[in-house]
C-alpha cells in the first residue's frame, strides 16, 4: 500500500515538473496579432495604391476621386489613425506624380485637393514631408507669372500655403525665403476672381503674424495693393490691413503703431472714396475709421474735413440748382398725380423717387425720337440698346458721385463727433450751409437724403448749426422731418425756393432774413436772376444773351469777348488814320476797362501845359460832357469841384466875377505903386492876399500830377 502511494506521488511530481518545463504563455500575443492585422482603411488604401502604381492616368484620376470620397465619409481624427503607415507611402506617390503632370496641366485641381486633405489634420509629419519632398517648390511655381493656370488652381494652392504657414514661425520664414510674398503679389496683379483674391489676402495676413523677419515686406505689399488699378485688388488690400488692425492697441504690431505709417495709409485710402466701385470706397472708409479708433489719429484728417466745405460764391452752382428746380416743376402736368404723392405706384419706384427714373426714360425717349426723325423710320434693336446703355451709364456715373460724397460726409461727421472743437470751427466756416445746399438740390435725391440725415446728426453736436437750419428752413415740420420722403412730401416748391434764397443771403453771416417779401437783393442775387431770365428768353423766344460784360464797368468776361474788343480797337485805330489832325483819335483817349492796359480812374483832373510856361489847355482823363448837360445852374456847377482848384471850370460865372474883381485890384495896385509891385499869380491867375492861403495853394500845386512828374 505504501509503495503504491509513493508511486502516485512521484507521478504527480513528474507531471508538475513537466508543466514547469513547458514554454511560458505569450501574454502579448493579442497585441501582436492586432498589430499585424491591417485596419480596413489601411487595407483599402493598399489596394488603391496597387491600382495607382499599375494604372494609367485615367485609373489614377479615379483613385484620387475615390480617396476624396472616402475621406468625406470618415470620422478619423488623423491620417495615421485612418491609414497607418500607408498614408505616407501614398503621399510620396502623389508628390512625385504632381511634379510630372504639372507641365501637362493634368487634373491639377484634383491633386491639390488631395494635398489639402492631408494638411487638414495639422499633422507635423506631413507638413515636414511637404518641404522634404519638394512639393512646396512645385506648388509655388503655379503662382508665378510663367505659369498660365486657372484661378481654381491658384486658389487651391494659396489655401495649401496658408495651411502650411499656420504651423508656426519656422515654416513662415521658410516660405517667405522661397519668395512666396513676391509670387503672391504677381499673382494678384494679374487679375483674379474675388474668391482667389480673398484667399491671397488671408495668406498675406497669416505670413504677417508672428513673423517679424518679413513683416515689413508683407506690409509694404499690402500698401501697394491700395494703389493698384484693379478695384478687387484694392478691396483685398484694404480688408487685409483692417484685419491686421483688429484687437487692442497693444496687440497690434509695432510697424502699424507709428505715425508715418498712419499718414501713408490715410493718404492711400482717401482717394479710394472717389472710386467708381462703391465697395472700394466703403472698404477705404472702414480702414480710415479703424485707424482713427485704434490710434486716435484724428488730426490727420482735419484738412480732409475742411476740404468738404463748399464755396457759396459759385454762381454757376446756384444757377444749376434753380434750373433743376424749375425743370422739376415743369414736369408736373395737370393730370400728373404729383411728385409729392409718395404713395404713387404708377412708376417703378413711385413718388418723389420717380424723378431719377423718369429722367432716365426721358433721355432714352428723346434719343429714340431724334433717331426716328433723322432716319425717317423706327430705330433698330441695336440702336435702342446703345441708347439704353448710354443713359444707364450716365445715371450710374451720377449715382456713384453722389454715393462717394455720402461716404465723405459720413467720415467727416465721424471725425466731428470725436473732435467738438473742429466741429465748431467747421460750422463757423460753412459746414451747415454746405449740407443745406445739398438738401435743397432736388436733382440729386441720394445726396439729398444723406444731407438730411447728416444735418440731424450735426444739430445734436452744435447749437449754431441748429440756429442756421432754423433760419433757412423756417418751418418746424420741415426741420423735424426724419426722412427725405417725409421732407419732400411736406415741402412745397415755393418753400424750397425761399429756403435757397435765404441760404444764399446768410452763407457768409449768421443773419437770417425770415421774410422774403422785402425787396432786398445782393449783387450776386441780381446776377443770378439775370442769368435765369436770359435762360428763359433763350428757351422761349430764342434771344441769345449779350455777353459784353457787366454794366457800369463793362468788364470783358470771356476770351471771345476779349478778342472781339481787341479787334474793335484795331479797327478804330485804322479808321482814324484818314481823319484830320484835329480829329485824330489819340491812344491816350482810349480808356481800357479791363486787361493789362486797364486805366485806374482818377478823381481829379490832370493839368498839362502846352507852350511856353502857360497854364491853359487843361486836359482831363475823365470823360466829361459840356457844362450845359449838367442838371444844375451855372453858378452851382462850380461847387462840384474843389473850391481851391477852381481852374477846373474856367467858364463858370463865379470865376469870371473873381477875375473882374482881381483886375480891379491890379489896376489900383499899379496906380498906387507905379508899377513897382510884383504880381504873384498862381495856376488860377489869383494872387492870394493871405500867407496861409498862398502856402495852401502851393501845396496843392505840388500835389498835382504834373508837379509829381516834374
Residue 264 lies inside a defined structural domain of this protein: no
Q: How far is residue 285's CA from residue 266's CA, in Å, rounded to a whole number? A: 10
How high does pLDDT run on average in the chain? 74
CA angle, 221 then 226 then 231, to 5°: 120
Q: Are 351 and 422 in the same domain?
A: yes
39-48 pLDDT per residue, tens: 788 889 999 9
Do 530 and 636 lie in a common domain?
no
Does the pLDDT of residue 692 top 50, yes or no?
A: no
The residue-averaged pLDDT of 521-535 equals 72
pLDDT of 595: 59
Percentage above 90 pLDDT, the chain:
34
Q: What is the helix, strand, coil percentage profile of the chain, to 5? A: 65, 0, 35
Whether 278 is in a domain gets the answer no
- Residue 612 belongs to a domain: no
Q: How far apart are CA 125 and CA 107, in angstroms?
A: 26
CA 689 to each of CA 665, 679, 681, 686, 694: distance values in angstroms, whole numbers, following the listed order:
11, 11, 11, 9, 8
Give the whole-angstrom CA distance, residue 195 versus residue 74: 28
Look at the block and give the residue holding cell 505709417: 261
C-alpha span between 637 and 639 (Å, rounded) = 5
Where among 506, 539, 572 does a domain terminate? Answer: 539
Length of the chain: 710
598, β-bridge pairs = 592
Residues 437 and 525 in one domain: yes
Q: Helices then strands (H, E): number in the chain?
A: 34, 0
80 Cβ neighbours under 8 A, 6+ residues apart? 87, 123, 125
Q: Is residue 198 part of a domain?
A: yes
For 71-80, 253-262, 476-485, 579-588, which range has the lowest pLDDT when averaged over its residues?
579-588
Give the count of beta carbons closer than 10 Å to the beta carbon of residue 234: 24
pLDDT value at residue 631: 47
From the list 99, 100, 70, the residue with the least C-alpha distance to 87 is 70
Highest mean pLDDT among 317-326, 428-437, 574-583: 428-437
Buried b (16+ CB within 10 A) or exposed e, 611-629: eeeebeeeeeeeeeeeeee
Distance CA 519, CA 534 (A): 21
Is the Cβ–Cβ distance between 143 and 184 less than 8 Å? yes
pLDDT at 472: 92
Same domain, 122 and 237: yes
For residue 318, name the pLDDT band (cuts at 50, 70, 90).
Answer: confident
Helix runs in 610-652, H state only: 634-637
Q: How far is CA 563 from the centre of its chain?
A: 38
Do 325 and 248 fall within a single domain? no
**Do residues 416 and 308 lie in contact, with contact meaning Cβ atoms separated by under 8 Å?**
no
3-class SS of residue 598: strand
Burial class (CB in 10 A: 0-12, 13-18, 19+), 412: buried
How far, in Å, CA of 67 to CA of 194, rounded? 29
Q: Kindly state whether residue 373 falls inside one of the protein's structural domains.
A: yes
Helix 523-540 with 493-505: angle, nearest 10 deg: 140
Band of pLDDT at residue 444, cut at 50, 70 and 90: confident
CATH number of the domain bearing residue 93: 1.25.10.10
Runs of H (alpha helix) within 589-690: 634-637, 653-673
Most confident of 22-36, 320-334, 541-555: 320-334
H-run or E-run covering 347: none
- Write out the DSSP string of 238-307: HHHHHHHT-S-GGGS-GGGTSHHHHHHHHHHHGGGGG-SSHHHHHHHHHHHHHHHHHH--GGGGHHHHHH
Which residue range forms the structural domain that includes residue 651?
627-709
Element (H, E) at 331: none
pLDDT band for position 661 (cuts 50, 70, 90): low
Q: How many domains does the chain have?
A: 3
Residue 601 vs residue 92, higher pLDDT: 92
In a domain, 377, yes or no: yes
Alpha-carbon span 177 to 180, nearest angstrom: 7
Give the residue from 347, 476, 498, 496 showing the smallest Cα distance to 338: 347
pLDDT-derived band at 509, boundaries 50, 70, 90: low
Q: What confidence category does residue 203 fall into, taking pLDDT thresholds of 50, 70 and 90? A: very high
Reply yes or no on whether the pLDDT at 519 is more than 60.
no
Match 459840356 to its residue by C-alpha cell: 626
| Other residues' Cβ atoms within 10 Å of the Cβ of residue 19 | 8
Q: Say whether both 239 and 385 belong to one domain.
A: no
3-class DSSP state for residue 592?
strand
Q: How far apart are CA 452 and CA 586, in angstroms?
A: 62
- Mean pLDDT calculated for residue range 465-485: 91
Whether 407 and 509 share a structural domain: yes
Q: Which of 539, 572, 591 is the last residue of a domain?
A: 539
Q: To which H or E segment does residue 591 belong?
A: none
With a CB cutoff of 8 Å and minimum separation 6, the contacts of 330 are none
> What mean pLDDT is predicted for residues 694-699?
39
Mean pLDDT for 475-496 is: 89
- Looking at residues 507-525, what average pLDDT do you find? 51
Q: Do 328 and 234 share a domain, yes or no?
A: no
- Judgement on whether residues 216 and 324 belong to the same structural domain of the protein: no
Output the pLDDT for position 165. 94
What's the pLDDT band for 622 if we cut at 50, 70, 90? very low
Segment 163-182, tens digit of pLDDT: 999 999 999 999 999 999 99
| pTM listed for this prediction | 0.64
In this predicted structure, the answer to whether residue 159 has a pLDDT above a threshold of 70 is yes
* Beta carbons of 442 and 496 less than 8 angstroms apart: yes
Give me the sign of the Cα torsion angle 466, 469, 475, 481.
negative
Higher pLDDT, 596 or 326: 326
Asked whether residue 576 is assigned to any structural domain, the reply reads no
Instruction: Tell me the β-bridge partners of 592.
Output: 598
Annotate 691-702 with b (16+ C-beta within 10 A) or e (fewer): eeeeeebeeebe
H or E stretch at 233: helix 231-244
Question: 419-439 pLDDT, tens per residue?
Answer: 999 999 999 888 999 999 999
Least confident of 103-107, 187-191, 303-307, 643-647: 643-647
- Same domain? For 381 and 466 the reply is yes
Cell of 76: 478619423
Beta-carbon neighbour count of residue 363 at 10 Å?
Answer: 17
Interhelix angle 215-226/259-269, nearest 10 degrees: 30
Identify the top-confidence range among 374-378, 659-663, 676-680.
Answer: 659-663
For the stretch 553-574, what's the b/e string if a residue is b when 16 or more beta carbons lie within 10 angstroms of its beta carbon?
Answer: eeebeeeebeeebeeeeeeeee
Q: 361 with 470, same domain? A: yes
Q: Please say if the pLDDT value at position 20 is more than 90.
A: no
Whether the predicted pLDDT of 574 surpasses 80: no
* Residue with the larger pLDDT of the pair 341 and 381: 381
Helix ranges restricted to H, 376-492: 381-418, 420-429, 431-439, 445-461, 463-473, 476-479, 484-490
Chain-centre distance for alpha carbon 640: 59
Last residue of a domain, one of 236, 254, 272: 254
Q: Does 146 share its domain with 66?
A: yes
For the residues of 61-80, what is the DSSP string, one character each? HHHHHHHHHHHHT---SSHH
With a cut of 70, say whether residue 341 has pLDDT above it. no
User: What percent of the chain is predicted at pLDDT more than 70?
Assistant: 59
Q: Which of 85-94, 346-355, 516-525, 543-552 has the lowest mean pLDDT?
A: 346-355
Q: What is the mean pLDDT of residues 660-668?
A: 55
219 part of a folded domain: yes
Amino acid at each position: 500500500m505504501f509503495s503504491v502511494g509513493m508511486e502516485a506521488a512521484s507521478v504527480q511530481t513528474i507531471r508538475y515538473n513537466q508543466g514547469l518545463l513547458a514554454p511560458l504563455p505569450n501574454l502579448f500575443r493579442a497585441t501582436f496579432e492586432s498589430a499585424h492585422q491591417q485596419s480596413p482603411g489601411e487595407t483599402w488604401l493598399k489596394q488603391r495604391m496597387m491600382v495607382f502604381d499599375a494604372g494609367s492616368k485615367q485609373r489614377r484620376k479615379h483613385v484620387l476621386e475615390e480617396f476624396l470620397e472616402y475621406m468625406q465619409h470618415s470620422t478619423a481624427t488623423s491620417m495615421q489613425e485612418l491609414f497607418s503607415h500607408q498614408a505616407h507611402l501614398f503621399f510620396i506617390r502623389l508628390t512625385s506624380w504632381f511634379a510630372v503632370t504639372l507641365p501637362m496641366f493634368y487634373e491639377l485641381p484634383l491633386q491639390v485637393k488631395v494635398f489639402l486633405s492631408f494638411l487638414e489634420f495639422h499633422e507635423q509629419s506631413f507638413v515636414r514631408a511637404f518641404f522634404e519632398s519638394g512639393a512646396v517648390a512645385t506648388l509655388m511655381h503655379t503662382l508665378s507669372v510663367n505659369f498660365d493656370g486657372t484661378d481654381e488652381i491658384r486658389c487651391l494652392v494659396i489655401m495649401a500655403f496658408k495651411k502650411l504657414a499656420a504651423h508656426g514661425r519656422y515654416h513662415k520664414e521658410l516660405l517667405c525665403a522661397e519668395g512666396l510674398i513676391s509670387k503672391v503679389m504677381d499673382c494678384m496683379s494679374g487679375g483674379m476672381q474675388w474668391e482667389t483674391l480673398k484667399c491671397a489676402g488671408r495668406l498675406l495676413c497669416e505670413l504677417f503674424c508672428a513673423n517679424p523677419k518679413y513683416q515689413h515686406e508683407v506690409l509694404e505689399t499690402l500698401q501697394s495693393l491700395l494703389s493698384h488699378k484693379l478695384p478687387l485688388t484694392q478691396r483685398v488690400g484694404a480688408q487685409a490691413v483692417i484685419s491686421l488692425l483688429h484687437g487692442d492697441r497693444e496687440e497690434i504690431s509695432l510697424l502699424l503703431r507709428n505715425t508715418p505709417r498712419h499718414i501713408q495709409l490715410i493718404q492711400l485710402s482717401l482717394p479710394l472714396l472717389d472710386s467708381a466701385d462703391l465697395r472700394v470706397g466703403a472698404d477705404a472708409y472702414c480702414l480710415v475709421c479703424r485707424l482713427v479708433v485704434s490710434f486716435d489719429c484724428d488730426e490727420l484728417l482735419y484738412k480732409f474735413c475742411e476740404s468738404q466745405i463748399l464755396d457759396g460764391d459759385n454762381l454757376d452752382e446756384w444757377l444749376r440748382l434753380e434750373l433743376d428746380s424749375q425743370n422739376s416743376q415743369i414736369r408736373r402736368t395737370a393730370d400728373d398725380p404729383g411728385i409729392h404723392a409718395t404713395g404713387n405706384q404708377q412708376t417703378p419706384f413711385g413718388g418723389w423717387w420717380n424723378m431719377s427714373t423718369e429722367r432716365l426714360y426721358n433721355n432714352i425717349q428723346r434719343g429714340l425720337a431724334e433717331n426716328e426723325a433723322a432716319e425717317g423710320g423706327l430705330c433698330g434693336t441695336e440702336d435702342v440698346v446703345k441708347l439704353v446703355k448710354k443713359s444707364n451709364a450716365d445715371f450710374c456715373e451720377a449715382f456713384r458721385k453722389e454715393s462717394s460724397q455720402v461716404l465723405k460726409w459720413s467720415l467727416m461727421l465721424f471725425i466731428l463727433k470725436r473732435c467738438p472743437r473742429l466741429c465748431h470751427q467747421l460750422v463757423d466756416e460753412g459746414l451747415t450751409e454746405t449740407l443745406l445746399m445739398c438738401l435743397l438740390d432736388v436733382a440729386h435725391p441720394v445726396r439729398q437724403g444723406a444731407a438730411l440725415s447728416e444735418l440731424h446728426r450735426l444739430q445734436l453736436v452744435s447749437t449754431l448749426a441748429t440756429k442756421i437750419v432754423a433760419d433757412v428752413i423756417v418751418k418746424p415740420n420741415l426741420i423735424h422731418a426724419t426722412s427725405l420722403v417725409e421732407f419732400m412730401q411736406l415741402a412745397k416748391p415755393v418753400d424750397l425756393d425761399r429756403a435757397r434764397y435765404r441760404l444764399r443771403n446768410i452763407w457768409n453771416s449768421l443773419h437770417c432774413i425770415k421774410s422774403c417779401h422785402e425787396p432786398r437783393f445782393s449783387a450776386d442775387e441780381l446776377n443770378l436772376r439775370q442769368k435765369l431770365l436770359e435762360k428763359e428768353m433763350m428757351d422761349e423766344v430764342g434771344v441769345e444773351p449779350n455777353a459784353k460784360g457787366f454794366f457800369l464797368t463793362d468788364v470783358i468776361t470771356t476770351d471771345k469777348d476779349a478778342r472781339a474788343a481787341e479787334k474793335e480797337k484795331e479797327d478804330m485805330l485804322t479808321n482814324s488814320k484818314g481823319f484830320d489832325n484835329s480829329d485824330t483819335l489819340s491812344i491816350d483817349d482810349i480808356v481800357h476797362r479791363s486787361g493789362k492796359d486797364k486805366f485806374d480812374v482818377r478823381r481829379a483832373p490832370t493839368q498839362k501845359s502846352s507852350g511856353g510856361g502857360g497854364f491853359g489847355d487843361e486836359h482831363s482823363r475823365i470823360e466829361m460832357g459840356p457844362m450845359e448837360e449838367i442838371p444844375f445852374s451855372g453858378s452851382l456847377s462850380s461847387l462840384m469841384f474843389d473850391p481851391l482848384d477852381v481852374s477846373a471850370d474856367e467858364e463858370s460865372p463865379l470865376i469870371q466875377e473873381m477875375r473882374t474883381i482881381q483886375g480891379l485890384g491890379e489896376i489900383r495896385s499899379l496906380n498906387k505903386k507905379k508899377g513897382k509891385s510884383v504880381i504873384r499869380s498862381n495856376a488860377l491867375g489869383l494872387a492870394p492876399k493871405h500867407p496861409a492861403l498862398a502856402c495852401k495853394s502851393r501845396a496843392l500845386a505840388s500835389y498835382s500830377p504834373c508837379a509829381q512828374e516834374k
